[in-house]
A and B are shown apart, each in its own frame.
Chain A
Amino acid sequence: MKINQKTLWLTFGLLISISISTATQAGETGTVIRADNLKAESSGSAASTDKISPGDQVEIIDRQGAWFKVKLRQTTGWLRLLSVKRGEATKAQGSATDVLKLATGQAGTGQVTAVAGIRGLSEEELKGAKFNPQELGLLKSNSVSAENAQQFASAAGLQVRQVEYLPAPISPEPTKPQGGLGR
């Protein structure tokens, strides 16, 4: 009886700690993916306390809006969200290269087809798909009006903000269409 109760409490405690850690991402490792500055506060105008370069490992302590609070080489500071990728460098880089190969077709199409098709939407399933008027009707019947959507947004306190579209970044080498006709 005593042991059971103890186990119960242990399980309970474990559950709490799991949910907290997923919420705050405390103790999670991050990998720097672009050169940037470590800031004293979560603001672009805050003082820079250190420089970071791709591959640097940080410990993610918290997230606030566009910023991660991190620990880098024993210093705590803030980094822009888009300068850090969550996860370990070695693992992340390994898979990223594989993914890149897949995305650029370097991995060969045989491989892609081999992993697809076991479940879900493979290319074959998409090609062989038959027009389904009932489902299309259902999709259309679910559409909501702009007014309805606005009400739902207001109910959660969402407020429209003026934000300009982002220009394409100037890259040193323009991205060329991948692959070629001969492949």
Chain B
Amino acid sequence: MKTLSTFLLLLLVAAMPAQAFDLDMGGGLGDVLKNLPIGKDKGKKQESGSDGVLGLAQAANFKEFSQEEEIKIGTEISGNLLGAAPLVKDVALQHYVNQIGRWVASQSERKDLVWYFGVIESEDVNAFSAPGGYVLITKGLYRKLGSEAQLAGVLAHEIGHIIKKHHLKVMQQSQLIGSASKLVGDKAGQGNSFVKNLIGNGAEICARGLDKDAEFEADRIGMVLTARAGYDAFGLVDVLQEIGHVPSNDSSVALLFKTHPAPDERLAKLGDAVGDRLDSVSDGKALESRLYRLK
């Protein structure tokens, strides 16, 4: 029986999309398996047949996170990310980015979330999102921007990940779901053990990639939300063109290029998707002069 459940477990793991874990990240799969409920009460569970490995896995597969859970997970991730790179201490900058981000998010179907945007102290070229409405962009990427439409485009890509719950889907696929009630019962943030089991050490999930199709989808949503907000829809395209010029061995783009498809590939995919579809909104504003300049 023990062999059987081990076998089933292996089968489940094999069936998971490879993107759900990056084995090379270390800690990922090992911890996942240790923390699976089935690992802990193997003795009890295996007797009850339908309640065994497959039953749990199925329950996990179909489990949807509530918005409350989603926000708690995002809060935990963001708090950890900010532990690695704090906010740039420029209130005017942070206020500006929040106004642009919130305006773009308001054009999405999740305008009722409380949205948080921030510029973080890092010379890396990257941006991050976490479930529930958290978006962070590095100073290094902000520095490359030439217009407000470009900023809007970058934020809109991240907003796309959030409205499509891309990170949550990875978590669901990776069978990490335990009892949701425990999560809701725990205090948000700070050493929430359930959230820890779910996402590893907080910000770690930001170093794991989403799957390529999720990135292409976020690019498409990014362009549309930017266009809806009245901006030049091609702000994100400008940024991708710019990032494409950074040598791939430059350490500032190492994580971005590890977690995202190559800029050329993203541009080509966008080209296929856009065609003439955005021709009617070609009068969007770039707002070069309103872009807040870093001190």
Contacts and interface: CB of A to CB of B under 8 A. Distances in A.
Contacts of B201: 127-129
Nearest to B81: A129
Given A98-B248, A121-B124, A136-B75, A82 B270 contact: yes
Contact of B227 (A117, A142, A161, A171): A161
A139 B87 CA distance: 7
Complex A-B, nearest 9 residue pairs according to Cβ-Cβ distance, in ascending order? A120-B124, A158-B230, A169-B272, A82-B271, A65-B282, A129-B84, A135-B82, A149-B102, A99-B262
A165 B219 CA distance: 11
Contacts of A66: 233-234, 278-279, 282
Nearest to B76: A131
Contacts of B283: 65
Interface string A18-39: 0000000000000001100000
B267 interface: yes
Given A118-B251, A119-B252, A99 B263 contact: yes
Nearest to A108: B24
Interface in B217-246: 217, 220-221, 223-224, 227-234, 237, 241, 244-245
A146 B267 contact: no
30 contacts: A65-B283, A65-B284, A66-B279, A96-B264, A103-B260, A120-B252, A123-B204, A123-B255, A126-B203, A128-B201, A129-B202, A130-B80, A132-B86, A133-B189, A135-B86, A139-B134, A146-B111, A149-B106, A150-B103, A153-B103, A153-B230, A156-B285, A157-B230, A160-B107, A161-B284, A168-B220, A178-B18, A178-B19, A179-B19, A181-B23
B200 interface: yes
Contact of B273 (A126, A127, A140, A169): A169
Interface in A145-183: 145-146, 148-150, 152-153, 156-169, 171, 175, 177-181, 183
B interface, how many residues as a size bin? 35 or more
Interface of A: 33-34, 43-44, 65-67, 80-83, 85-87, 92, 95-96, 98-100, 102-103, 105, 109, 112, 115-123, 125-133, 135-136, 138-140, 142-146, 148-150, 152-153, 156-169, 171, 175, 177-181, 183
Given A65-B282, A149-B106, A161 B228 contact: yes
Contacts of A178: 18-19, 211-212
Given A66-B279, A116-B251, A120-B252, A82 B237 contact: yes
B50 interface: no
B59 to A, nearest CB: 23
A122 B268 contact: no
Contact of B79 (A136, A142, A144, A149): A136
Q: In this complex, which of B13, B75, B84, B249 has the most chain A Cβ atoms within 10 angstroms of its Cβ?
A: B84
A34 B271 contact: yes
B242 to A, nearest CB: 8
B188 to A, nearest CB: 10
A105 B291 CA distance: 36
Given A120-B122, A120-B252, A158-B229, 19 more contacts: A95-B248, A99-B257, A115-B251, A121-B126, A126-B80, A127-B26, A128-B201, A135-B79, A135-B86, A136-B79, A142-B118, A144-B95, A153-B229, A159-B230, A165-B221, A166-B223, A168-B220, A171-B272, A179-B18
Given A81-B234, A115-B251, A153-B230, A127 B224 contact: no
B117 interface: yes
Given A119-B252, A146-B102, A150-B106, A125 B84 contact: yes
A134 to B, nearest CB: 9
Q: In this complex, which of A120, A130, A136 has the most chain B Cβ atoms within 10 angstroms of its Cβ?
A: A120
A152 B247 contact: no
B6 interface: no
B99 interface: yes
Contacts of B142: none
Contact of A100 (B18, B76, B265): B265
Nearest to B13: A181
B55 interface: no
